[in-house]
Amino acid sequence: MENHGFLRITAVSPEMFPGDLERNVASIIAVAEEAKRQGSSLLVLPELCITSASYGDLFMTDRILSKAEAEAIKIAEITGDGDLCCIISFPLRKEGRIYSVSAFAAGGDILGIVPLRANNPKKRSIFSEYEGEDTVVRFGSRELPFGKGLLFRCKDDELSVVIGKDRDPDSIAFVYVYPDTALMSVSSYKNTCRFVEEMSRDACCSAVYCSAGEGESTADGVFSGQCIIAEDGKILSGTEPFARGEVVTADVDLKALSYRKRMRGCKAVSEHYTEVSFSLHRKEQSSLKRKVSRLPFLGEKEELKDRCNTAFEIQSRGLASRMEKIGSRKAVLGISGGLDSTLALLVSVRAAELLGGSAEDVLAVSMPCFGTSDRTKNNAQKLCEALGVDFRLIDITDAVKQHLTDIGHDLTTADVAYENAQARERTQVLMDLANMENGLVVGTGDMSEAALGWCTYNGDHMSMYNVNCSLTKTLIRAVVSEYADSYGNDAVRSVLGDIIATPVSPELKPAVDGEIAQKTEDIIGPYEVHDFILYHFLKDGCDPEKILYLASIAFDGEYEGIQLKNWIGEFFRRFFRSQFKRSCVPDRPVIGSVNLSVSGWDMPSDLSGRLFDQS
């Protein structure tokens, strides 16, 4: 099974036995063997893990230093099969000074040694701070690279590792390792989590933190034993406060990090690093040790409320600013009774309030035609009445029939012209009303529709300012739900509940007994799947095969693999052939880092999508 660019990392603070190096090493070897059984390719251990951090002045003795060196060589031997590389730490003497160091072990040997920042928990620093250039150090019978600027780069793939205790936002490595000997305090747990998140975000890397813990002396405090693995600002796995000996394992996406680094223009090489090469047999994983969200645009559950409120406020303030600058008195929009126009209406009301006006400064127009259902028409009117906006009902059926007759259409064939004539008539009505009212036509189309080209060119595709263009269908549903829970009165809340429950539809084909006959997700697939594909394609540059792998995990038990594969194929076929619609769109507020705005995505309109076609 292909690993799709994932690297399994284990960080653990094993039980220490101060004064007994052999028991410490036995504990480390047991942890390493278990990491190998779990399929990990990189094992990270705390600072001074061979000796323990609780030695005080005994770190200065030749006996301890010699024993630590011998035990480090012994630990390195467990990497001899090439399946695991390991970060081990110990005290080291060099040119009359003692340094706390971390060594990179792979292929059965120690390949390089990095001096760490001297922050021994004792008041009097035992270890020296190394300020020199990268050089070599005599270790055992060999001379090894030594210095803070060592970059351990795998010969076979994109894996590169930097070890350090100084924050390095400019690190070119994909994995930044931070061994530590930190004492626990009332604020240290959250501060450390924040530090690791920021480090991984700033350097667009995976940051691995590992501190001494269980078994260490408590004479001067309690060592934290904290272990964290983060990726680009997000913690993938970590211990809870006061965890002891807990193994932390996560799969880091090296391909995604590589793509993100390229998109951000991050450094690929640097004269400040000395490269040390190694080989590693990356393992194929039967399961993935990281959460794969079904709804990635919604973020974590605990941050959803804030995300929805922030998005709504950005939309509202963007619209208010645009109306103020061009002198528009009214926001004008079509209201269909669907999710997208509902959110645009709520945003327009908020924008009017920000400008010192009221809901009456919003003109909402319902324009029923061939496919309009009773449910959506009624919901549109109820919502407008509950909000107190200027509501108008304009039936466009006769106008569309006249237009279709003029162009020679038979009025019975529900083809593309039949559907699009309705969408373009609605846009014409809105534009002309905006001219009459000195208003601004507010666009309602979302990013999910833009990605799939599920909009009528120069119909709902066009407006004077589109407030939804950076939000996906799944996020719009969440924002409307949050509005209903937090802001709406009872009448507003009631109608919003039914709108949220209404099937997504363009309502362009004739309704059947007043009910929706054209359900979008029955035609192109679920929006939650298309939004999932869109996120991983734009955010991480994932190919269809990797998206299918991730989707199979995220939607396990809900959709079959063949369904997911078909929808992924449908997405990419539509995405490539619809770029021309995205190349000419109204201004809009960019809300998230993953978006299809001109600044967020650049692609020729006539580019072939053959490389991404799975059929």
**DSSP states along 122-137:** SSS--SPPP-S-SEEE
- Residue 242: which pLDDT band, with cuts at 50, 70 and 90? confident
Residue 122 pLDDT exceeds 70: no
CB 437 within 8 A of CB 389: no
Question: How far apart are the C-alpha atoms of 313 and 291, rounded to whole Å?
Answer: 29
Average pLDDT, the chain: 92
Residue 222 is part of a domain; what is its CATH number? 3.60.110.10
Q: How far is CA 263 from CA 257, 299, 353, 474, 539, in A?
A: 10, 21, 39, 25, 9
Residue 124 pLDDT exceeds 80: no
Q: Write out pLDDT tens, residues 514-551.
A: 777 788 898 999 999 999 999 999 999 999 999 999 99
Percentage of residues of the chain with pLDDT beyond 70? 98
- Residue 508: which pLDDT band, with cuts at 50, 70 and 90? confident
593 belongs to a structural domain = no
Q: Of 493, 524, 555, which one is at a domain's C-terminal end?
A: 524
Question: How far apart are the C-alpha atoms of 468 and 485, rounded to whole Å?
Answer: 20
Domain count, the chain: 2
Pairwise pLDDT comparison (348 vs 188), residue with the higher score: 348
Q: How far is CA 496 from CA 5, 381, 483, 527, in A?
A: 43, 12, 9, 19
Residue 494 pLDDT exceeds 70: yes
548 belongs to a structural domain = no
Same domain, 369 and 484: yes
Which tokens hold the place of 569?
């194929």
441 belongs to a structural domain = yes
Q: Write out pLDDT tens, residues 353-412.
A: 999 999 999 999 999 999 999 999 999 999 999 999 999 999 999 999 999 999 999 999
CB 569 within 8 A of CB 615: yes
Same domain, 212 and 258: yes
CB 224 within 8 A of CB 189: yes
> What is the predicted pLDDT for the residue at 1?
45
Residue whose entry in the numeric block shows the structure tokens 């669907």: 338
598 belongs to a structural domain = no
Same domain, 141 and 213: yes
Question: How far apart are the C-alpha atoms of 200 and 207, rounded to whole Å?
Answer: 5
Describe the crossing of helices 473-486 and 490-501 by its angle, rounded to 10 degrees: 160
573 belongs to a structural domain = no
CB 156 within 8 A of CB 279: yes
22 belongs to a structural domain = yes
Residue 347 pLDDT exceeds 50: yes
Same domain, 184 and 309: no
Q: How far apart are the first and last CA of the chain?
A: 21
pTM of the model: 0.92
* Alpha helical stretches, state H, 355-415: 374-387, 397-406
Which tokens hold the place of 493?
């809340």
- Residue 215: which pLDDT band, with cuts at 50, 70 and 90? confident
Rounded average pLDDT over 436-450: 97
Domain range for 268 is 6-278
Same domain, 359 and 240: no
Same domain, 30 and 146: yes
Instruction: List Cβ neighbours of 215 (8 Å cut-off, separation of 6 or more).
Output: 15, 16, 17, 18, 52
Selection from 557, 563, 569 nearest residue 533 by Cα = 569
31 belongs to a structural domain = yes
> What is the predicted pLDDT for the residue at 117?
85
Residue 120 pLDDT exceeds 60: no
> What is the predicted pLDDT for the residue at 141?
86
Same domain, 263 and 345: no
Question: How far apart are the C-alpha atoms of 447 and 415, rounded to whole Å?
Answer: 25
Same domain, 322 and 258: no
Rounded average pLDDT over 123-127: 69
Q: Write out pLDDT tens, residues 152-164.
A: 999 988 899 999 8
Same domain, 271 and 334: no
Residue 227 pLDDT exceeds 70: yes
CB 329 within 8 A of CB 437: yes
Q: Write out pLDDT tens, residues 297-343.
A: 999 888 999 999 999 999 999 999 999 999 998 999 999 999 999 99
Pairwise pLDDT comparison (184 vs 258), residue with the higher score: 258
CB 184 within 8 A of CB 224: yes
268 belongs to a structural domain = yes
Rounded average pLDDT over 97-108: 95
Residue 438 is part of a domain; what is its CATH number? 3.40.50.620
Lowest-confidence pick of 1-15, 210-224, 424-438, 498-512:
210-224
Same domain, 36 and 169: yes
3-state secondary structure of 24: helix
Same domain, 318 and 270: no
Residue 484 pLDDT exceeds 50: yes
Q: Write out pLDDT tens, residues 23-77.
A: 999 999 999 999 999 999 999 999 999 999 888 888 888 999 999 999 999 999 9
Beta strand 142-146 with 135-139 is antiparallel
Same domain, 226 and 336: no
